[in-house]
Structure 1
Amino acid sequence: MNPVFGHGHLRLYLLNLLAEQPRHGYELIQALSDRFGGTYSPSAGTIYPRLAKLEEEGLVTKATDGRKTVYEITDAGRAELNSRLPELSSIEDRVTDSVRMLADGLRKGVDEAMRSLRADLAAARRDATGEAPPRRDTTGAAPEAPGAAPHAAPDAAPDAPPEPTTDQLRQQNAESLRQVDAAVNGFRASVRTELRKRAARGTVSPAAVSTLTAELQRLEAELKAALRD
């Protein structure tokens, strides 16, 4: 069974695509990929045996156009398609539902990955600058009132840390770069995993692709702004 289509549904969808216009095998693969936002692209080993079966049943014909074989639906194929229009409509409805689920999952995954990436970038920036994270006063002492005498200084103030050497700065920068690189790769892997997991159960519409693209562009702008700070 195909991971996207139920039993016999890809066959019906191929007839639907050929009813729109004659196509060769690669055009059918590309049309399916476009319909599903690039998350599902069937292999030639998936498409051509089904086309051969459709031809054997008299539902499509093929003709050679140069080095390409073009497939065209027959009258019998159109009759088959028309008799199964309710089934085709049901497939389209399930695709729409899957697209909505995928878009919601991608949006959630992107938001979570963005929060994680911002935290990793903040940690890397502190490592690069030597800046300590903000600390809360845990002594429980009340703040001094205006005009009050200052507390006595401790007997020996701790020495200021030495300035880092050039080699130390270079090592800090290299470690920061490694951390950011790992965070970016982790973000990419997380989104790809979520995308492929959802694609196995549905499709991605142009609207979902547009949403994901806009979120990624927003994230890119925020990260570039953070690096300029």
Structure 2
Amino acid sequence: MTPPVFSHGSLRLYLLSLLAERPRHGYELIQALSDRFGGTYSPSAGTIYPRLAKLEEEGLVTKESDGRKTVYAITEAGRAELASRQPDLDAIEDELTDSVRRLADEVRAGVNEAMRSMRADLASAARDAKRESKREGRRENAGGQPSSGESTRTAHELELVLNEFRQQVRTDLRTQAARGTLSPDAVAVLKARLAQVRADTLADLAGN
């Protein structure tokens, strides 16, 4: 997913809103921005500190040393600036919500695609087992192969397990999206994990 891009002056305004919550040092501001955007946007120090310096020049923030860290705090002038631009801040928050929602949709689409692929493979395996069972006269042979009825029941049980898993993952994704904690590589990670699960499952089934 493409990270959200701040229009001119928007990042400056959003930094003020974060400092209005409480004083923070630079890394805390970077982390707070990453958290707010569900990990889809994480500015560099080279992006944050020049803007903080500009805000300080304008008298909108102050800074003081706290050990090896520099802590920034909003001034009354900064709060007045923030209040006068509340509509602009609301628009940024709306964009944030849309960004997180789009990421969640992409992750869900990846889950559904992988689940459909797994279901197709399992259905194909069940049909192969059914044909083999018919050739064996619909009974267990000496090697202990399952009958057609048993294969059908097994395929049905596997379908139920997959559906339950999909519902659980979708619920978890909605929770993560609501918290804004989905990382930008969530789609790629999930697809890779599901592909590995699929390969391992089919290998285990073939081994049985």
| Higher-Rg member (1/2) | 1
1:228 pairs with one of 187, 201, 204:
204
For 1:56 and 1:81, locate their aligned partners in 2 and report how far apart those are by CA, in whole Å: 16
Q: Deviating runs (4+, > 6 A) in structure 1? A: none
Map of 1:78 onto structure 2: 79
Map of 2:179 onto structure 1: 206
Unaligned runs of 5+ in 1: 127-132, 137-203
Contact 2:4 2:41 in 1 (8 A): no
Q: CA deviation at 1:84?
A: 0.7
Map of 1:47 onto structure 2: 48
1:18-29 matched pairs, under 5 angstroms: 18-29=19-30
Map of 1:111 onto structure 2: 112
Describe the superposition over 1:167-187 as per-residue Cα deviations: whole angstroms up to 9, x where unpaired.
Answer: xxxxxxxxxxxxxxxxxxxxx
Q: CA deviation at 1:102?
A: 2.4
For 1:98 and 1:14, locate their aligned partners in 2 and report how far apart those are by CA, in whole Å: 18
TM-score by length of structure 1 reads 0.54
1:28-177 matched pairs, under 5 angstroms: 28-115=29-116, 118=118
Q: Secondary structure at the match of 2:62?
A: strand
Specify the code of the residue in structure 2 equivalent to 1:63.
E
Q: Which has the higher contact order (CA 8 A, sep 6+)?
A: 1
For 1:34 and 1:69, locate their aligned partners in 2 and report how far apart those are by CA, in whole Å: 21
Contact 2:36 2:96 in 1 (8 A): no
For 2:53 and 2:196, locate their aligned partners in 1 and report how far apart those are by CA, in whole Å: 49
Specify the code of the residue in structure 1 equivalent to 2:92.
I
Q: Secondary structure at the match of 2:182?
A: helix
Map of 1:16 onto structure 2: 17
For 1:19 and 1:100, locate their aligned partners in 2 and report how far apart those are by CA, in whole Å: 26
Q: CA deviation at 1:209?
A: 2.7
For 2:204 and 2:179, locate their aligned partners in 1 and report how far apart those are by CA, in whole Å: 33
Aligned alpha-carbon RMSD (Å): 3.6
Specify the code of the residue in structure 1 equivalent to 2:40.
T
Structure 1 residues 208, 17: closer, same or farther in 2, change over 3 A?
A: closer
More helix by share: 2
Q: Secondary structure at the match of 1:62?
A: strand
Contact 1:59 1:76 in 2 (8 A): yes
Matched residues, number: 148
Contact 1:36 1:205 in 2 (8 A): no
Unaligned runs of 5+ in 2: 132-176
Structure 1 residues 44, 207: closer, same or farther in 2, change over 3 A?
A: closer
Structure 1 residues 6, 205: closer, same or farther in 2, change over 3 A?
A: farther
Specify the code of the residue in structure 1 equivalent to 2:60.
L
